[in-house]
């Protein structure tokens, strides 16, 4: 069959992609590789990096004349994905339109009920499901026989049943990077030696065994972690070096060190083969130790990211459900300083029941980390609410998300707290803290970190305004940013409550 797979024009996350930095879309590239092995003709269209307008999207569909159009969908970009299906149906109503991706796995039934331009939804891992779906379409057989789909059947929404996760990830081919314009991905990373290195991303495992209350990964990939064999991981890294000149590998796993023994073996093989690469990875710090980090540094570790989420122990352990003691985070930062790599802790503001004093504790933790390692790369976000997560249930109980809210209705976004230009079309969890307190935390951190807010970002914020609620929130953030800059110019702490102890 003739299949067209799209990343919509917005990309995946509004702010990151608007700034011109993106990674190849591994999800649809895995799908492409599997479908081409089945004999299908696949046109991959990363409309974001191609800078396509909606007229460009329409023309691409008209030119290729697909029988099936599939779109990858995150919660942040879902309305772009829905519009793309409408565009496809406008070109030819006979096109079978398919949605997949993280948002669809979390809000499938509602999406198919509300989005008339969607014919089929693929839930969870899509490689085998989409392959079987196309086989059924080609044979004019019933899609009800294919597990892992939401379909319409005589006016009813039907789920065809849960599909077993792919046990042997080595059975999948390499993602079909050759099917996209790799030169359009301006993906590079600055390393500690002062070089700007060509980067490529790789995902060596799927799944997460942990239970953070805001996280959608277990819904999409499952709680049982499955990983490529070390040999398969090394083969793909060497292929990326030989084919694309990769000098830096961005491990896109949720937790690369989920199996320390496996990771030790991968690092041993990188060292033995003298690959001379640098790389970054995400860690679960309660299952990492110094000997592993020493070996990873010898293999080329440059950046190690990890989630702290909240400074206050009560919030981190009882709300987020991360049980490690904060001293583990400080140990990691100390080890990074001693081993000469950059630690990258993640923090989130405005947790469930988090008070203003507890939120201020997060700033103090950041300060202490900067004192230990001046190059620490701290990242922050306001807590996002994703469908199907425990946090969504809390948000509905608290009235942060109204009972009549639909994820697939754009107008309903006016009912929930959002900052669409920076955070995408996703509700923000605003519970105990006021907008002014949240703005003080975010903008105080921004000013203290010398990261700044470009004029372009403020312009994008103005363009994204869709309600008085948006206007008020952005006004508060602008005032907090100006205040933080003035404090910094006067030699006072920009981060307001960030008082070192």
Predicted confidence (pLDDT) per residue in 152-189, tens digit: 998 899 999 999 999 999 999 999 999 999 989 888 89
**What is the per-residue pLDDT for 13?**
61
Confidence category of residue 15, pLDDT binned at 50, 70, 90: very low
The secondary structure of 249-287, three-state, reads EEECCCCHHHCHHHHHHHHHHHHHCCCCCEEEEEECHHH
User: How many angstroms separate the Cα of 298 from the Cα of each of 15, 111, 262, 272?
Assistant: 34, 47, 17, 11
Average pLDDT over residues 88-98: 98
- Side-chain-facing half-sphere of 157: CA atoms under 13 Å: 13
User: What is the spatial distance between Cα 266 and Cα 495, in angstroms, rounded to a whole number?
Assistant: 41
Question: Which tokens sit at 419?
Answer: 């900052």
pLDDT > 90? residue 419 = no
Question: Which residue is it, tokens 């080890």?
Answer: 335
Give the whole-angstrom CA distance, residue 64 versus residue 78.
Answer: 24
Residue 492: which pLDDT band, with cuts at 50, 70 and 90? low
* Residues contacting residue 116 through CB under 8 Å, at least 6 positions apart: none
Is the predicted pLDDT of residue 203 greater than 60, yes or no?
Answer: yes
pLDDT band at 11 (very low <50, low <70, confident <90, very high): confident
Scan for tokens 């701290």, then name that residue: 378
Whether 18 has a pLDDT exceeding 60, the answer reads no
> For residue 481, what pLDDT band results from cuts at 50, 70 and 90?
confident
Mean pLDDT for 319-324 is: 90
- Model pLDDT, residue 497: 47
Whether residue 466 has pLDDT greater than 90: no
Share of the chain above pLDDT 90, in %: 72
The pLDDT score that the predictor gives to residue 475 is 84
> What value does the mean pLDDT of the chain take?
90
* Residue 227, pLDDT above cutoff 60: yes
What was the pLDDT predicted at 499? 43
What's the rounded mean pLDDT across residues 276-297?
A: 94
Query: In the structure, what pLDDT confidence band is assigned to residue 20 with cuts at 50, 70 and 90?
Result: low
Of all helices (H) and strands (E), which one includes residue 460?
helix 455-463
Surface-to-core class of residue 20, CB atoms within 10 Å of its CB (0-12 exposed, 13-18 middle, 19+ buried): exposed
Average pLDDT over residues 117-137: 96
Average pLDDT over residues 190-206: 93
H or E element: which one contains 476?
helix 468-489
Which pLDDT does position 346 carry in this prediction? 94
For residue 25, pLDDT beyond 50: yes
- Whole-number Å distance between alpha carbons of 351 and 438: 11
- Please give the pLDDT value at position 450: 62
Q: Give the whole-number percent of the chain exceeding pLDDT 70.
A: 91
Predicted confidence (pLDDT) at residue 469 exceeds the cutoff of 80:
no
Q: How does strand 149-153 pair with strand 120-122?
A: antiparallel
Lowest mean pLDDT among 150-164, 306-320, 434-448: 434-448
Across 28-42, 386-400, 408-422, least confident range:
408-422
Between 482 and 34, the higher pLDDT residue = 34
Residues 403, 168: Cα–Cα separation, whole Å: 41
Dist CA 105 CA 150 (whole Å):
10
Rounded to whole angstroms, the Cα distance separating 456 from 59 reads 29
In this structure, are residues 197 and 247 in contact, taking their beta carbons and an 8 Å threshold?
yes
pLDDT band, very low/low/confident/very high, at 299 (cuts 50, 70, 90): very high
Residue 12 scores a pLDDT above 80: no
pLDDT at 337 over 60: yes
| Residue 498 pLDDT class (50, 70, 90 cuts) | very low
Instruction: Quickly state the pLDDT bin for 16 (edges 50, 70, 90).
Output: very low
Least-confidence region, from 290-294, 339-343, 430-434, 460-464 = 460-464
Segment 422-439 mean pLDDT: 89
pLDDT of residue 465: 63
pLDDT tier at 460 (50, 70, 90 boundaries)? Answer: low
Rounded Cα gap, residues 445 and 378, in angstroms: 9
Segment 111-128 shows an average pLDDT of 96
Task: Please report where in the chains the tokens 């000013």 appear, as a residue.
Answer: 447
Mean pLDDT over 445-467 rounds to 64
Exposed, middle or buried by CB within 10 Å (0-12, 13-18, 19+), for 463?
A: exposed
Tell me what pLDDT residue 294 has. Answer: 97
């Amino acid at each position: 069959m003739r299949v067209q797979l799209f990343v919509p024009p917005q990309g995946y996350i509004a702010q990151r992609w608007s700034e011109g930095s993106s990674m190849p879309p591994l999800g649809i590239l895995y799908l492409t590789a599997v479908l081409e092995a089945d004999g299908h003709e696949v046109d991959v269209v990363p409309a974001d990096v191609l800078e396509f307008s909606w007229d460009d999207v329409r023309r691409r569909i008209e030119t290729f004349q697909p029988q099936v159009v599939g779109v990858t969908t995150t919660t942040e970009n879902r309305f772009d994905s829905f519009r793309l299906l409408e565009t496809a149906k406008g070109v030819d109503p006979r096109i079978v339109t398919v949605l997949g991706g993280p948002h669809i796995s979390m809000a499938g039934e509602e999406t198919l009920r509300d989005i008339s331009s969607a014919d089929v939804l693929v839930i969870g891992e899509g490689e085998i499901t989409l392959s079987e779906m196309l086989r059924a379409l080609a044979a004019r057989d019933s899609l009800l026989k294919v597990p892992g789909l939401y379909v319409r059947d005589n006016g009813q929404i039907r789920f065809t049943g849960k599909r077993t996760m792919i046990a042997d990830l080595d059975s999948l081919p390499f993602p079909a990077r050759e099917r996209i314009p790799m030169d359009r991905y301006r993906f590079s990373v600055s390393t500690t030696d002062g070089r700007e290195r060509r980067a490529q991303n790789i995902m060596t495992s799927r799944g997460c065994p942990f239970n953070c209350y805001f996280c959608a990964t277990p819904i999409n990939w499952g709680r049982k972690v499955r990983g490529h064999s070390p040999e398969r991981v090394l083969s793909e890294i060497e292929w990326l070096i030989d084919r694309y000149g990769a000098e830096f590998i961005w491990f896109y796993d949720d937790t690369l060190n989920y199996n320390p023994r496996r990771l030790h073996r991968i690092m041993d093989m990188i060292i033995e083969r003298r690959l001379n690469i640098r790389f970054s990875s995400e860690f679960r710090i309660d299952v990492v130790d110094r000997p592993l980090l020493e070996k990873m540094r010898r293999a080329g570790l440059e950046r190690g990211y990890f989630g702290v989420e909240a400074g206050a122990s009560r919030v981190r352990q009882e709300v987020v459900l991360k049980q490690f003691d904060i001293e583990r985070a400080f140990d990691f930062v100390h080890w990074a300083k001693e081993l000469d790599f950059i630690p990258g802790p993640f923090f989130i503001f405005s947790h469930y029941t988090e008070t203003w004093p507890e939120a201020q504790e997060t700033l103090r933790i950041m300060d202490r980390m900067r004192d230990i390692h001046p190059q620490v790369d701290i990242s922050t976000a306001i807590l996002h609410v994703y469908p199907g997560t425990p946090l969504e249930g809390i948000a509905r109980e608290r009235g942060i998300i109204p009972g009549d809210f639909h994820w697939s209705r754009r107008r309903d976004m006016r009912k929930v707290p959002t900052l669409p230009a920076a955070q995408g079309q996703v509700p923000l969890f605003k519970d105990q803290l006021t907008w002014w307190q949240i703005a003080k935390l975010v903008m105080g951190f921004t000013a203290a970190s010398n990261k700044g807010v470009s004029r372009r970002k403020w312009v994008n914020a103005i363009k994204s305004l869709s309600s008085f609620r948006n206007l008020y929130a952005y006004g508060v953030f602008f005032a907090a940013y100006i205040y933080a800059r003035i404090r910094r110019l006067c030699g006072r702490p920009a981060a307001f409550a960030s008082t070192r102890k």
